[in-house]
Amino acid sequence: MVLDSPERLKPYLDIATEAALAGGGVLDFWRGNLTQIDEKGRSGDLVTNADRAAEAAVLEVLQRHCPQVGILAEESGAIGDHSGPFLWAIDPLDGTTNFAHQYPFSAVSIALLVEGVPAIGVIYDPFHQELFRAAKGLGATRNRQPIQVSKADRLAQSLLVTGFAYDRRETPDNNYAEFCYLTHLTQGVRRGGSAALDLAYVACGRLDGYWERGLSIWDIAAGVVLVEEAGGQVTAYDGSAVDVRSGRLVATNGPLQEPLCRALAQVPAIALWSQDPSTWPSV
Evaluate whether residue 168 is within a structural domain.
Answer: yes
Residues 160 and 206 in one domain: yes
- 282 band by pLDDT with thresholds 50, 70 and 90: very low
Q: Which helix (H) or strand (E) holds 260?
A: helix 257-265
Residues 13 and 106 in one domain: yes
Q: Identify the weakest region by mean pLDDT among 168-177, 196-205, 231-240, 256-265.
A: 168-177
Residues 127 and 189 in one domain: no
How far apart (Å, rounded) are the C-alpha atoms in residues 110 and 88? 7
Evaluate whether residue 110 is within a structural domain.
Answer: yes
If one counts the domains in the chain, the total is 2
**Residues 224 and 194 sit within 8 Å (Cβ to Cβ):** no
- 269 band by pLDDT with thresholds 50, 70 and 90: low
What sign does the dihedral 152-240-184-106 (CA atoms) show?
positive
Q: What residue numbers bound the domain in which 65 lies? A: 6-146
Q: pLDDT digit string (tens) for 174-217?
A: 888 899 999 999 999 999 999 999 999 999 999 999 999 999 99
How far apart (Å, rounded) are the C-alpha atoms in residues 8 and 279? 58
Helix, strand, or coil (residue 133): strand
Evaluate whether residue 209 is within a structural domain.
Answer: yes
Evaluate whether residue 102 is within a structural domain.
Answer: yes
Residues 114 and 74 in one domain: yes
Residues 206 and 105 in one domain: no
